[in-house]
Amino acid sequence: MDSNIHDKLVKAYLEYFSANEKWEVKNSVRTTRDTRRWLREIRLLAKERMDQIQHKHQTERITRKGKEKN
């Protein structure tokens, strides 16, 4: 499995955290836009990661069931 998505998700969260701090200090159009951008990125990456995890889980279950029958 590609842990690169996990790394991107962590990086996106750190970027969001930084943008959110700026937004809390200065609630402007730019800081609002940046904060929302990183939240969207987190949502997209989280969906991708969920799909990866589900695929790996299903693949390993099928593999385990095949081994148990033999």
pLDDT at 17: 98
- Model confidence at 1, in pLDDT bands (50, 70, 90)? very low
Q: What is the per-residue pLDDT across 19-57, written as a single tens digit (0 to 9) for each? A: 999 999 999 999 999 999 999 999 999 999 999 999 999
pLDDT at 70: 57
- Model confidence at 2, in pLDDT bands (50, 70, 90)? low
Which 3-state string (H, E, C) describes the chain? CCCHHHHHHHHHHHHHHHHHHHHHHCCCHHHHHHHHHHHHHHHHHHHHHHHHHHHHHHHHHHHHHHHHHC
